[in-house]
């Protein structure tokens, strides 16, 4: 595996895994759907996860058709959307939380595309350390992979 260059936003993720390896620890990676059950509780949950020892937090971007997810994430995603959560709302949560642990957006491709061509740079500016796009198999779309 090739390490990312030092200038990438994933550097905080690399540093976290390097520190864990040095300490002979495994990573505690936690998932939360942004905006579920509401913005305030999302912020409380993110801060509690950080205080509780999470090494990395995956913050789910709600999507209307989360077919690859199980019923719990599908329901939380639907509830967040019903309360008005958007891609930019997810970024606002990251910016407001100001966590010291890496936060990785966990998203399907459609919300990212719908957010516009600068969606990734806005995520980095908000404080996201990386992004997992769950519905693009590696090698299926090299041009999109390059963009991501």
Domains of the chain: 27-147 (3.20.20.70)
40 tagged catalytic = no
Confidence band of 136 (pLDDT split at 50, 70, 90): confident
pTM greater than 0.85 = yes
**Distance (Å, rounded) from C-alpha 74 to C-alpha 33?**
10
Name the catalytic one among 58, 82, 118, 146.
58
pLDDT tens digits along 86-109: 999 999 999 999 999 999 999 999
Backbone phi, psi, residue 112, to 5°: -70, -45
Name the catalytic one among 38, 65, 69, 118.
69
pLDDT tens digits along 35-90: 999 999 999 999 999 999 999 999 999 999 988 899 999 999 999 999 999 999 99
Q: With the CA atoms of 49, 54, 59 and 65 taken in that order, what torsion angle do they form, in degrees rounded to the nearest 10?
A: -100
58 tagged catalytic = yes
Angstrom CA distances, 132 to 7, 38, 52, stand at: 19, 22, 23
């Amino acid at each position: 595996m090739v390490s990312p260059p030092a200038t990438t936003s994933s550097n905080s993720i690399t540093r976290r895994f390097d520190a864990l390896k040095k300490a002979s620890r495994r990573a505690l990676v936690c998932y939360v759907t942004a905006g579920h059950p509401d913005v305030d509780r999302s912020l409380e949950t993110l801060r509690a996860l950080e205080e509780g020892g999470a090494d990395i937090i995956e913050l789910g971007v709600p999507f209307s058709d989360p077919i690859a997810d199980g019923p719990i994430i599908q329901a939380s995603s639907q509830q967040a959307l019903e309360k008005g959560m958007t891609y930019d709302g997810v970024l606002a949560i990251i910016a407001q939380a100001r966590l010291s642990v890496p936060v990785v957006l966990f998203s399907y491709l459609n919300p990212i595309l719908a957010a516009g061509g600068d969606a990734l740079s806005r995520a980095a500016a908000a404080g996201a350390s990386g992004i997992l796009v769950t519905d693009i198999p590696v090698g299926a779309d090299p041009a999109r992979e390059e963009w991501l």
